[in-house]
Amino acid sequence: MSASSAAVFAFPQPIAGDVVLCRFPINLVQPAPGPKARPAIILQVYAPMEGEACYRVRVCYGTKNLTRIYPHDCEILQATHPVEYHSAGLSYDTKFDMQQVILLPHTAEWFKVPNHAQFGVTPKLGVLHPSTVPRLLRAKRNVP
């Protein structure tokens, strides 16, 4: 697959609650794919617009930088939430920042298939465990 076809390749339909690898943009005002694929949670899925081949997804930023945890963060830690951690398919403790949310096309330009690709040709790492949802909703309510 060439670089130009990778940019337009659309993945199968995502589902809200999927944990994916996303090239989350550094600048949300003028978004461009970030240099590194990071975990993200798909919060909402929108059907392709007329003439488009891909779904659009609203995603929440994830990072392994746990130096500071804010009220608008939802962390999934292997030691304290092992079932959630495993379900999400994470490789390291991660916090999801509900203050950093953006709508992106669900394409190879913005998302990366993980090396272990247990779900096929999709950027999906795992799924949000139901017991994580109340903490994620609390984090959303705490967005200033």
Residue 43: count of CB within 10 angstroms of its CB: 19
Nearest to 76 by CA among 17, 118, 144: 17
Query: Average model confidence (pLDDT) for the chain?
Result: 90
- Helix (H) / strand (E) containing 77: none
Percent of the chain with pLDDT over 70: 93
Instruction: Find the mean pLDDT for residues 46-52.
Output: 86
Instruction: Find the mean pLDDT for residues 27-38.
Output: 89
pLDDT exceeds cutoff 50 at 4: no
pLDDT exceeds cutoff 90 at 71: yes
Give the pLDDT confidence score for residue 9 in this predicted structure.
Answer: 55
Q: Would you say 72 and 144 are in contact if contact means Cβ atoms under 8 Å apart?
A: yes
Q: Would you say 61 and 41 are in contact if contact means Cβ atoms under 8 Å apart?
A: no
Q: Would you say 62 and 94 are in contact if contact means Cβ atoms under 8 Å apart?
A: yes
Domains and CATH numbers, the chain: 3-141 (2.30.30.110)
User: 62 has which bridge partners?
Assistant: 96
Residue 38: count of CB within 10 angstroms of its CB: 16
**Residue 141 DSSP code:** H
